[in-house]
Chains A and B, each alone.
Chain A
Amino acid sequence: MLIANIVGLATIALIIWWFWLYKPKAKSALKTDVEVIVKDGVYSPALINVPAGKPIQVRFTRFDESPCAEMLLIPELEISEQLLVNKETEIVLPALTSGEYKFHCQMNMYKGLIRAI
């Protein structure tokens, strides 16, 4: 019983750390032309670093048939775009001021972040 309780509490701690406390590090270098694959419930990469002050092209290719993946929204930039299945959809972002811009699907289940540096 003691073991079960310890395992349970450890699981809770793990959930909190993995989903809430962990801060992802950016892997990509600064690029003005980014490719994002939409597949199996996620955007990859989900964290995009881009230079501030320059127009950016983000090319989304959706391989995910789920209707959740259909719309791409970038609320701060008032962008909403339909992504076609198995096709590339190019989205041109205006020159961004440095900061973070979230992007997500219509239901906010697929999530990503553009970081303008």
Chain B
Amino acid sequence: MKNKEPSQQLIIEGAGCASCVGKIESAIQSTAGVVSAEMNFADRTVMVSGTAHASELIRAVESAGYNAKLLDNAKADQILDEKEAADWEYYKKLLRDTFIALSLGIPLMIYGLFIGEMTVVTTTERISWLIVGIATLGVMYFSGKHFYVGAWNSFKNHSANMDTLIAVGTGTAWIYSMVVVLSPDVLPLMARHVYFEATAMIIGLINLGLALELKARGKTSQAIKRLIGLQAKTAIVIRDNKEVEIGIEQVLENDVVKVKPGQKVPVDGEVVDGHTAIDESMLTGEPIPVEKNVSDQVVAGTLNKSGLILFRATRVGKDTALAQIINMVKKAQNSKPPIGRLADSISAYFVPAVMIISVLSALAWLNLGPEPAIAFATVSATTVLIIACPCALGLATPMSVMVGVGKAAEAGVLIRNGEALQTASKVTAMILDKTGTITEGAPKVTDIVLANATDEKSVLQLAASLENGSEHPLAEAILESAALKKIELLKIQSFKAITGQGVKARCEGKSLLFGNAKLMAEEDVDLTGFTGRAQSLAKEAKTPMYFAIDGELAAIIAVADPIKHDSISAIKRLQANGIKVIMLTGDNRETAAAVALKVGISEFYAEVLPEDKASKVKELQNLGEIVGMTGDGINDAPALALADVGFAIGTGTDVAIESADVTLMRGSLHGLADAIAVSKATLKNIKQNLFGAFIYNIAGIPVAAGVLYPVFGILLSPVIAGAAMAFSSLTVVSNANRLRLFKTRES
């Protein structure tokens, strides 16, 4: 709703001094439609009232030499609060409507069942039933108005929905009854029966069903609520050398933010001072707190456990990883997997089709039915309309997707949309990249085998000095190992890198060689007695490198990329699900074989170039497999894109949210197994819901039309149809809620 003078708040960037205030205020005030502008310098916001559009205000501020952004007042948690308040109001209204309708319907029904016949013969009967009829009209007005108004509106729009069915159904029952009361003579004596109780009961029961469904629905959005609850409300920032506590939406990029132990990180940033351990489990599912030092990244929503840190804000507002995650989960929760589209296209034609069936069933009773045919025709037409309400069908898919996507998010798995969810449940072959996916992706020095040298430390010192400045990925492992042991590096002369073989240099008068067997052979270094050792290292998935001083072998240094601690168990989980697991790597055959053996993968391809990864995906697809591809995103991009489902491994700090079908926020491959388990459970749940909703309509409509009557004498009462209809969607929502209990991890 609009106030007379709407106001909006802008955040100003680049206002460094108090003298900017006047300039900015007057720039805004000179914009057409602005009534007043007031700037708060402490938190760099301007409150503007007037009708000017935000983009004009931003332009005005820019022309004054500053930048401005509209402060979004509709914060996620505020939206959620408002939604809950609105739902609560609606819930109360529905219960009130139920109460009004049932307090007429139940006594009438009891009367009809136990005390009297609801027929109209005498004048007294006519007058008393007329009063009941008017009371029923009152119920229709007070408790059922929304059905009739909704039905009329959609009718005008040439569309029909559940309101249409309820309105036409209850309307038919009431009009028939009123005809009985007002002019009984047009009907045969046997057909002078009133159905006011049906009208009142149906309105009451359907309102009750809607109320209960609303309650159950609230639970389906728990995952989003939890994610939103992770956001801090305020942040302490340092401005003009003073600490100020401001709302998180007012934190600007490059602000220095202070986080004390026990507080939540309010926005994304880079640590500039202090060190601490941060619990990122709420985002990634990884239970162990992560050490953070200067220049490390921190993510909004995570919990500072131990130390005090200052960090520079790098992403604020809706750009933080958490905000993007919330946004994405919300989007995914409302997207539909292909399986749901069938239900959609059916429900588009459903209501008019039901109306036709209802007329046909009435005609059948009129022409072929026993006396009183007109009463039977009315009852069956009404019952068909009421029982065929497609509400449960419409809810079947969205409710399950909502819970399933939320459940996955709780396990640190972001599913991009309903389609990815459905395809993930059908994956038959899973390709895993080795480096960074199965392994840590950061090689480490594992063994130093001394040959002629006597001292491990000096070997490492010389080797690290030699590798300093080398671009080779293994060099980093050696440098890190030296740094860990606090070894100082030496000065190197006449450094020469030999592509594909290693490096050569002089240091402190010695000639040094560091590289593979080929380099040693070319430089005539004798490896006798050590090749066996090197081979056994290679079999353990380690890369042995030879280090020679003055033409003689000094040591073998082995470097390996360690396998993640839980890769083996996660791969077992996938295989236990009947998924063929395949490893692809650009690494050499020996290392690949050793890793594959260790993690229990029988099919692997080594020395594969990034572009060949994509053709491997294609190859498997041609064999009829539904291919999932898991990689850390950079060199695997073409293969990820080509696969039926691309699983990107991103850590909480560098989520590339929009790119992959599924993003695993923690490094563990258990996320992969979780993603597939959740998607399977969700699909199963959707199928249960669709089956329930379909069966209910497919079986319910003929029974309501009266197919059982000729043989068994069964004709459904409209009241029973109303009750069944009310609880069908409740059943669907409750079944979807069962998914919340699904356990994602095996442990």
Interface residues of chain A, those whose CB is within 8 Å of chain B, are 1, 4-5, 8-9, 11-12, 15-16, 18-20, 22, 24, 39-42, 44, 46, 65-67, 70-71, 73, 75, 78, 80, 82, 84-88, 106-111
Assess whether A16 is in contact with B217, with CB atoms less than 8 Å apart.
Answer: no
Instruction: List, in ascending order, chain A residues with CB within 8 A of B156's CB.
Output: 42
Assess whether A108 is in contact with B394, with CB atoms less than 8 Å apart.
Answer: yes
Instruction: List, in ascending order, chain B residues with CB within 8 A of A20's CB.
Output: 349, 352
Assess whether B90 is in contact with A65, with CB atoms less than 8 Å apart.
Answer: yes
Known contacts: A12-B360, A16-B356, A19-B158. The answer to whether A82 contacts B150 by CB under 8 A is no
Assess whether A46 is in contact with B157, with CB atoms less than 8 Å apart.
Answer: yes
Q: How many angstroms between the C-alpha atoms of A75 and B93 in the bound complex?
A: 32
Q: Which of A8, A40, A71, A106 contacts B153 (CB 8 A)?
A: A40
Q: Which of A22, A73, A88 has the largest number of chain B CB atoms within 10 A?
A: A73
Assess whether A86 is in contact with B359, with CB atoms less than 8 Å apart.
Answer: no
Assess whether B153 is in contact with A15, with CB atoms less than 8 Å apart.
Answer: no
Q: How many angstroms between the C-alpha atoms of A108 and B396 in the bound complex?
A: 12
Of chain A, the residue at the smallest CB distance from B218 is A67
Assess whether A82 is in contact with B83, with CB atoms less than 8 Å apart.
Answer: yes
Q: How many residue-residue contacts, CB under 8 A, span A and B?
A: 118
Assess whether B162 is in contact with A8, with CB atoms less than 8 Å apart.
Answer: no
15 of the cross-chain contacts (CB-CB < 8 Å) are A8-B360, A8-B363, A19-B160, A41-B149, A41-B161, A46-B157, A65-B86, A65-B89, A65-B93, A78-B331, A85-B82, A85-B86, A107-B391, A109-B161, A109-B162
Instruction: List, in ascending order, chain A residues with CB within 8 A of B1's CB.
Output: 86-87
Q: How many angstroms between the C-alpha atoms of A41 and B391 in the bound complex?
A: 13
Assess whether B334 is in contact with A71, with CB atoms less than 8 Å apart.
Answer: yes
Q: How many angstroms between the C-alpha atoms of A19 and B351 in the bound complex?
A: 9
Instruction: List, in ascending order, chain B residues with CB within 8 A of A5's CB.
Output: 363, 366-367
Instruction: List, in ascending order, chain A residues with CB within 8 A of B387's CB.
Output: none
Q: How many angstroms between the C-alpha atoms of A58 and B213 in the bound complex?
A: 30
Contact of B606 with A by CB under 8 A: no
Q: How many angstroms between the C-alpha atoms of A66 and B146 in the bound complex?
A: 9
Assess whether A67 is in contact with B217, with CB atoms less than 8 Å apart.
Answer: yes
Known contacts: A15-B352, A15-B355, A65-B89. The answer to whether A40 contacts B159 by CB under 8 A is no
Q: Which of B93, B336, B356, B366 contacts A15 (CB 8 A)?
A: B356
Q: How many angstroms between the C-alpha atoms of A53 and B90 in the bound complex?
A: 40
Q: How many angstroms between the C-alpha atoms of A88 and B398 in the bound complex?
A: 24
Interface size range on B against A: 35 or more
Assess whether A75 is in contact with B352, with CB atoms less than 8 Å apart.
Answer: no
Q: How many angstroms between the C-alpha atoms of A9 and B161 in the bound complex?
A: 22
Known contacts: A5-B366, A8-B362, A19-B159. The answer to whether A84 contacts B79 by CB under 8 A is yes
Instruction: List, in ascending order, chain A residues with CB within 8 A of B217's CB.
Output: 67
Assess whether A78 is in contact with B335, with CB atoms less than 8 Å apart.
Answer: yes
Known contacts: A1-B366, A67-B214. The answer to whether A40 contacts B149 by CB under 8 A is yes
Assess whether A42 is in contact with B159, with CB atoms less than 8 Å apart.
Answer: yes
Instruction: List, in ascending order, chain A residues with CB within 8 A of B417's CB.
Output: 78
Assess whether A12 is in contact with B356, with CB atoms less than 8 Å apart.
Answer: yes
Instruction: List, in ascending order, chain A residues with CB within 8 A of B158's CB.
Output: 18-19, 22, 24
Assess whether B359 is in contact with A8, with CB atoms less than 8 Å apart.
Answer: yes
Q: Which of B87, B334, B336, B351 contacts A67 (CB 8 A)?
A: B87
Q: How many angstroms between the C-alpha atoms of A66 and B211 in the bound complex?
A: 10
